[in-house]
């Protein structure tokens, strides 16, 4: 069986990669090999097209290839909650948890992550649009041969 992992640099998909590399699947009677397919939407497209057997990736990425979840099933979680961190420049003097300080700021986010961030801010009562919080890609961090995590760091 082929397991697609969309990222080898972040902790996002580490549990699935570790399970393959440490032969957890083999001990359960499964012959599984991990393959890097970046970004996550391409991994799910490969699943849809039958090139791989399952994806160790963000659940929301499945919607890029499976409209309204038709043809795909979520089997388990690699992590709980959102494991992303919002990091701002120290010289801005923003206190931890001070979401109001995000008003008028530009925030770089990976593809699909921006959707989650918008939802979190809105749920916290800070709708990005009326508060001029602009969430978009990190300059130079897009393209098929670019590793977002390395570029953003």
* Domain residue extents for the chain: 2-69, 90-152
Per-residue model confidence (pLDDT) at position 142: 65
Per-residue model confidence (pLDDT) at position 48: 98
pTM over 0.75: no
Q: Which residues pair with 106 in a beta bridge?
A: 134
Per-residue model confidence (pLDDT) at position 152: 57
Report residues of the chain scoring pLDDT below 70: 82-83, 141-153
- Closest by CA to 60, choosing from 106, 2, 109, 9, is 109
Strands 54-55 and 2-5: parallel
Per-residue model confidence (pLDDT) at position 61: 87
CA–CA distance, 12 with 139 (Å, rounded to integer): 21
Per-residue model confidence (pLDDT) at position 75: 92
């Amino acid at each position: 069986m082929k397991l697609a992992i969309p990222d080898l640099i972040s902790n996002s998909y580490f549990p699935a990669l570790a399970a393959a590399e440490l032969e957890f699947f083999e001990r359960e009677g499964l012959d599984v090999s991990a393959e890097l397919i970046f970004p996550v939407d391409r991994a799910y497209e490969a699943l849809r097209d039958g090139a791989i057997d399952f994806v160790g990736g963000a659940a929301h990425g499945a919607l890029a290839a499976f409209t309204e979840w038709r043809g795909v099933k979520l089997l388990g979680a690699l992590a709980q909650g959102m494991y992303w961190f919002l990091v701002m420049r120290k010289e801005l003097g923003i206190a931890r948890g001070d979401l109001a300080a995000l008003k008028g700021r530009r925030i770089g986010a990976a593809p699909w992550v921006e959707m989650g961030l918008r939802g979190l801010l809105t749920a916290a009562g800070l709708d990005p649009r009326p508060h001029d919080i602009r969430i978009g890609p990190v300059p130079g961090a897009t393209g098929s041969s670019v590793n977002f995590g390395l570029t953003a760091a």
